[in-house]
Structure 1
């Protein structure tokens, strides 16, 4: 039996067997399981399984933290063992009654954005790479100057860095249709309509060189290149409209009538109602974000660095995806990234202190890999497996994140992309910021490590299950 199959088998047995599992899905780091009876779960047994970094209930799902890469392989083995997998859409419906309205809304936002984040990560890396190769110092190594770079090469780099944001509404509408039970290809076409070249270009309008179209003399109509909320809500409403139409249309006419009416009605509503309204909402959110980031004396970075990992614990941190996309789309840089990187690195520093200070071999085996995972940008193993279990290390990590965020704000650090942090995040700061970026992370890790070592952990408080 392969290692991953054994892990899958052990997880199934520890949560009460196949008969206690309703469905299984996964995200970037967690196996998300809908169970029939919570009381049948053996929590201690789950946490003792090899490669399991923690497990807990959130949003109506039992979530087992396995980490990037491992979760995909274990999920495949779970399916091979005969457990029914489910889409995020199906699990969202099952878990939909749990949590308050705000938590459900943020969960839906996350379900829509998670599948498109890899594309935005790649775009950010392309931006960082372009910033690196176009630096005068780098060009000078090859005897070149910026004037020597051909227009064709610049065009090639623009294709790499601009495409995802130009067609972002299409990606979001596609994902929203998928999550809310519509036909994804209809959502894709609806999103493409929102960025049709027949419409005034959004960036041209914002720059003042292009005028919007006005219907009825007061409704502005533009393309929505780089916008998030218009496509998000158009996707939700469109998916629900498609399902409603499909229920009422005879099967013989479904192929023709359903997509026709869905696209006709939705593009009309999107251009004349949803788009103008939520474009204004986006502006308000962006202004609010900039106001926090712009607080004097580094207070914005301190506040965000302090709160970020607390928000991660609540499970509503996907709201930051929206903020980061808006920053990148509007300014081509992301000041949020360096600040939250500090908070992530700090949790890794706290877990590292626990791992080096404890004499328990099992706790070392959990804490040290968890700290490495945090330094690679994934904090769930460190938070749920170590820091929150002992409480004080988590709060020491929060203090370290606040201090690191403060310095990130003071230094005006801004990444060229999003969704990668700490060590992988260095690729977003190759445009002359790399040394300050490393300094901020070292400060955050150092503060959290020192405080945890001195005040945050002692083997006197070691939990029995870590023996």
Structure 2
């Protein structure tokens, strides 16, 4: 394999080095920012045996080459294109300049929440383990494991404590990540998050009951009352407060003398933001967050299976636009307030969509005669079943179109089923076959049935569509013939 020749062919196909604005690579893909994607010779790229697929998303044009190969090709590509060694973060920054305001907003949410997902996933999965130990009728009729084996009681309690930590102190995680994203000191952001969940405050989960009983504690400052209420498990208040903190800090640095900067800037940043948080920003955004959560839950409860079908049909198209990253903030709120919401239905529908995409790709593997398509479809199909759909969706299904149609039909049917049976996740994780461990124990069986529906319908419909359209692969192309 001549990696230099491969790099030269790719560079020529994308319009030459003059068309390359930035370039980096991840584990399997070249990640490129191009001045003009319309000049790409897509046919040439598709005909290259080494290229497993291509797609454009978030301002980046990505070429799938595979693990190991991409590293060697990139070395030559960087030299040929005149690009210095760049990280994927550098490429993302360059790509963000090409995004419209809505795309930039979605990217902002993604930048804030993606880094904290491991902590939320860990807490959620531990919560799932605790549910397995304490759920009745799961293994023993009329009993939970803890009831049947009292020696496991403290183990369940310990796991529950570990599980709740990330959600109880969620504002600290978001405060750190959001303040960093907004250009402020992330440690001040963490301190702000700590302030919002300080143990001297009324726990945010008990605010509703205290309000009804007129027992909300207050600070009385010169006759002005400020509610002493925490923001456990909230998202919007700490996002808004972190934005204010970062802007306040940066503004102060411009006017505070450098000799006093380290002393006065953190002091006034926290004090000013803290006052605004508890008097204005916090109460307003808490109400907005509650309305958002209540609205989503209401929509889910009212529309039922019909709403699930529509969401399932639209999920994959939403992924193509990148808008699915905005769901992270909503899911975080749903999981943080599980007492009210029961968990996240978005994760479940995402899993149905991913399994459907994988099934459609494996159906292509069955019907195609093209060796290159077979090679890509086999790995991409399995990857999608495990929750990673980009290779399947962009490398196979969208290119051939009919597998994508089969996939969204299967996704819609399965999403309607899981919505009908109120299947919800108690954690984030791999949205696919491994997602079983993220599902509430009482709905695991329905989740498995939903995945089976997604796989079966997508697989069958894709094969029917392939035969109906009389598709035959010749060489490296796909031609339509009479059915």
TM superposition score category, shorter chain reference: 0.7 to 0.9
Partner of 1:85: 86
- Pairwise CA distance, 1:211: 2.3
- Pairwise CA distance, 1:6: 11
23-32 or 388-397: bigger deviation: 23-32
Structure 2: gaps (5+ residues): 479-483
| Contact 1:173–1:235 (CA under 8 A) maintained in structure 2 | yes
SS of 1:34's partner is strand
Partner of 2:61: 62
**Aligned-residue CA RMSD (Å):** 3.9
Is 2:240 the partner of 1:230? Answer: no
SS of 1:294's partner is helix
CA deviations 1:407-466 (Å, max 9, x no partner) are 101222122212422211011237243332111101011111111100146673658755
| Length, aligned pairs only | 463
Question: In structure 2, which of residues 400, 403, 406 is the aligned counterpart of residue 396 of structure 1?
Answer: 406
SS of 1:112's partner is helix
SS of 1:323's partner is helix
Q: Could you say which structure has the larger radius of gyration? A: 2
SS of 2:162's partner is helix
Partner of 2:197: 195
- Pairwise CA distance, 1:133: 2.9
53-62 or 192-201: bigger deviation: 53-62
Question: In structure 2, which of residues 212, 216, 229 is the aligned counterpart of residue 211 of structure 1?
Answer: 216
Is 2:150 the partner of 1:148? Answer: yes
Instruction: Measure, in 2, the Cα distance between the counterparts of 1:41 and 1:202.
Output: 53
Structure 1: gaps (5+ residues): none
Partner of 2:481: none
| Contact 1:53–1:66 (CA under 8 A) maintained in structure 2 | yes
Q: 1:20-169, aligned counterparts within 5 Å?
A: 22-23=21-22, 32-35=31-34, 38=37, 43=42, 53-64=52-63, 74=71, 83-86=84-87, 88=89, 94-135=94-135, 138=139, 145=147, 148-149=150-151, 152-169=154-171
Alpha carbons of 1:381 and 1:212: their partners in 2 closer, same or farther (altered >3 Å)? Answer: farther
Alpha carbons of 1:360 and 1:258: their partners in 2 closer, same or farther (altered >3 Å)? Answer: same
CA deviations 1:116-146 (Å, max 9, x no partner) are 1122122222122222233455579999635
Instruction: Measure, in 1, the Cα distance between the counterparts of 2:231 and 2:6.
Output: 45
| Structure 2 length-normalised TM | 0.82
SS of 1:261's partner is helix
Partner of 2:471: 460
| Contact 2:25–2:87 (CA under 8 A) maintained in structure 1 | no
SS of 2:33's partner is strand
- Pairwise CA distance, 1:386: 0.8
Partner of 1:290: 297
Partner of 1:363: 373
SS of 2:56's partner is strand
146-155 or 191-200: bigger deviation: 146-155
Instruction: Measure, in 1, the Cα distance between the counterparts of 2:115 and 2:130.
Output: 25
| Structure 1 length-normalised TM | 0.84
- Pairwise CA distance, 1:245: 2.8
172-181 or 303-312: bigger deviation: 172-181
- Pairwise CA distance, 1:8: 9.1
Is 2:443 the partner of 1:441? Answer: no
Instruction: Measure, in 2, the Cα distance between the counterparts of 1:148 and 1:361.
Output: 58
Instruction: Measure, in 1, the Cα distance between the counterparts of 2:127 and 2:387.
Output: 19
Instruction: Measure, in 2, the Cα distance between the counterparts of 1:187 and 1:77.
Output: 37
Instruction: Measure, in 2, the Cα distance between the counterparts of 1:276 and 1:143.
Output: 41
Q: 1:168-317, aligned counterparts within 5 Å?
A: 168-208=170-210, 211=216, 213=218, 220-296=227-303, 298-317=305-324
SS of 1:56's partner is strand
Alpha carbons of 1:220 and 1:430: their partners in 2 closer, same or farther (altered >3 Å)? Answer: closer
SS of 1:418's partner is coil
| Contact 1:230–1:275 (CA under 8 A) maintained in structure 2 | yes
